[in-house]
Chains A and B, each alone.
Chain A
Amino acid sequence: IQMTQSPSSLSASVGDRVTITCRASQDMSNYLAWYQQKPGKVPKLLIYAASTLQPGVPSRFSGSGSGTDFTLTISSLQPEDVATYYCQKYNSDPWTFGQGTKVEIK
């Protein structure tokens, strides 16, 4: 299964709504996770089961979708959200990641 994220990068203003999409080449139900990797840091789990927020993650992050099309939304972009975001399938081998979306502040 291939995981295709778009866009590969984006620049938005503080307070903007940001949307990242992830498309799978095959139906994967809701076995999708989103990770955030800040510059020089270890990846951090944000969302699992496509839409379940990991405890401690700010509520401005949300996920949706099932089957082949998924979305990560940041409702109001904050400076601390500057990072690269990755989707990942996890229902079976291989545990493929998307290529990443780099989010910057305009």
Chain B
Amino acid sequence: QVQLVESGGGVVQPGRSLRVSCAASGFTFSNYGMHWVRQAPGKGLEWVAVISYNGRLKFYVDSVKGRFTISRDNSKNTLYLQMNSLRVEDTAVYYCAKEYSNNPDYFDYWGQGTLVTVSS
């Protein structure tokens, strides 16, 4: 069965960096686009970034452009989100999500999330 397991969250000071990961299993990882979605405490879902199945296409929400980088290692079935110059407003649970196909598509599986807290 499909499993997405995030890791790497924690408490970090404003301006510092953090990398979160998402380990995938139960499907052919290299065939699907993957996304990061975040949810601030008590708030709604916010789409953050997407990477195509082969890593060649990447898109970001405006608020993280130039600070966050999405990447993937298909040999390790792992998705990453490198977060630099973190701000207090980046505090959220970060979910990875799998696209239904390798075209722009909806999310059929989600991970359990990893909490990133940006605080001094």
Contact = CB atoms under 8 A, between A and B. Distances in A.
B107 A96 contact: no
A101 to B, nearest CB: 10
Contacts of A54: 108
Interface in B37-86: 37, 44-47, 50, 59, 61
B112 interface: yes
Contacts, number: 56
Contacts of A33: 106-107
Interface centre among A35, A93, A97 (most CB of B within 10 A): A93
A45 B110 CA distance: 9
Interface centre among A54, A88, A92, A94 (most CB of B within 10 A): A94
A42 B95 contact: yes
Interface residues of B, number: 20
Given A42-B112, A93-B59, A94-B59, A86 B45 contact: yes
Nearest to B107: A45
Interface of B: 35, 37, 44-47, 50, 59, 61, 95, 100, 104-108, 110-113
30 contacts: A31-B104, A33-B106, A33-B107, A35-B45, A35-B107, A37-B45, A42-B95, A42-B110, A42-B111, A42-B112, A43-B45, A43-B95, A44-B110, A45-B106, A48-B100, A86-B44, A88-B47, A88-B107, A90-B105, A90-B107, A91-B104, A93-B50, A94-B47, A94-B59, A95-B35, A95-B47, A97-B37, A97-B45, A98-B44, A99-B44
